[in-house]
Structure 1
Amino acid sequence: MQEFAALLLLLLLLCPTARGEEGPVTRGGFVSALWESAGAVPYDAQAPFSDVSPRADYAPAVSWAAHQGLVLGTGEGRFQPERPITREEAAVLLRRWAALLEWDTFLPDGVAACNDYQDISPWADDSLYWACDAGVLPWSPGGRLDPSGTLTQAQTADIFSAFARQGRPG
């Protein structure tokens, strides 16, 4: 029941249609949603990134994610929490979280190639294919993964709903 309540809260926080808004989800917002889906365990807000203020709403989530090894930053000690998250960044975070949960993150041979494979960053390739193959991240129209595309709040809510379904025993 507690999982259902946390998921409902997450969906209400992220569902823009109830508020009449639709916008991109930031890196800080996505990590906050991940943290919420993990139970929002209280965590010291001292994130290891120079651009994450301890007073920011997402600071405990970013600190938790960094200490779990889920986020590594964007270089030079920064996280860029206000930048919209890309599909490939989201896929990497989700696959790392799934691995920590000891879920199967194996990518089988023969996963269908996409039309925009040349646009995928080398560090995100397997994770992006895994997230789409696992049904956590939907394919973009036309057989594309759209690695640099950003996520809306509604898409993020759908992603975490699909991710939660993946963790249920079949």
Structure 2
Amino acid sequence: MDLTAPARPPAARTGLVDVPPGHRFAPEIAWLARLGLLDVRPDRTFGPLQPVERAELARALFRYAGADDVAAPSLGMVADDVSAAHPFAQEIGWAVRHRLVLVHADGSFRPSRPARRQELVLALHRAIGSPAPAGRAPFHDVQDWHPSVEAIAWAAGAGVVRGMPDGTFRPSQPVTRQALAVLLRRFDELA
């Protein structure tokens, strides 16, 4: 045994079949799973590269906030395509009421559609009170006219998002389950 070797932090143990301790985002995924922000499948898989549906995003934000808002959605529906009987109606209703995840202009929520990266950043930006960004968005694919530019610039300046190796943010790409874990964890560390 060499006691002079530098100590290495222990690998994060997730208890998930598809997220071994050496996984790049194992600590963030373990944190997300431990808090129960996304459901783990019965076979103990997480699906790190699977997209997060909009209903799942609403549920994750609801759980993260520790919300216990049991108010029934107004008029029996949250959106044209989400009735009060929807399994995530409470969480979607809460996210809509707090303007974290919005209903589309046509009145639909589209709960099973993958959430986009810009939607997650917008939700986090709104959750913290929509602070002004310290600078411009540093990504090649986020121009000053982009509808989410302020939220993306804030998230980049705060260290919540770092972008892709090619200098892009890819705002319209689906949020993966591992990306949700990473961004929520970084957001949590702001406090």
Compute the TM-score of the two structures, normalised by the length of structure 1: 0.78
Bigger relative CO (Cα 8 Å, ≥ 6 apart) = 1
Q: Does 1:122 align with 2:131?
A: no
- Give the alignment partner of residue 24 of structure 1, picking from 44, 51, 55: 51
- Alpha-carbon spacing, 1:133–1:51, altered in 2? closer, same or farther (3 Å): same
Residue 95 of structure 2: aligned partner = 65
Question: 2:122 — aligned with what?
Answer: 92
Structure 2 stretches of 5 or more lacking a match?
Answer: 1-30
Count of equivalent residues: 156
Shift of 1:121: 6.9
Q: Structure 1 residues 155 and 67, CA, compared in 2 at 3 Å: closer, same or farther?
A: same
Deviates more, 1:75-84 or 1:48-57: 48-57
Give, in whole Å, the separation in 1 of the partners of 2:83 and 2:159.
34
Given the superposition, is the C-alpha separation of residues 88 and 121 from structure 1 closer, same or farther in structure 2, using an over 3 Å criterion? farther
Secondary structure, aligned partner of 2:36: helix
In 1, are the aligned partners of 2:71 and 2:90 still within 8 Å (CA)?
yes
Moved more, 55-64 or 41-50: 41-50
Question: Which residue of structure 2 aligns with residue 135 of structure 1?
Answer: 159
- Name structure 1 gaps, 5 residues minimum: none
1:43 maps onto 2:67 in alignment: no
Of the two, which has the highest radius of gyration? 2
* Post-superposition offset of 1:60: 0.8
Shift of 1:153: 0.9
Measure the CA separation in 1 of the matches of 2:86 and 2:180.
20
Identity, in percent, stands at 29
Q: CA RMSD in A?
A: 2.7
SS of the equivalent of 1:48 reads strand
TM-score between the two structures when normalised by the length of structure 2: 0.70
- Distance in 1 (CA, whole Å) between partners of 2:61 and 2:46 is 23
In the other structure, the counterpart of 1:108 is 134
Q: 5 Å matches for 1:6-17?
A: 8-10=34-36, 13=39
* Corresponding position: 1:83 with 2:108: no
Cα distance in 1 for residues equivalent to 2:37 and 2:102: 26
Counterpart of 2:170 in structure 1 is 146
User: What per-residue deviation string (whole Å, max 9, x for no partner) do you get for residues 119-138 of structure 1?
Assistant: x8732111112122212233
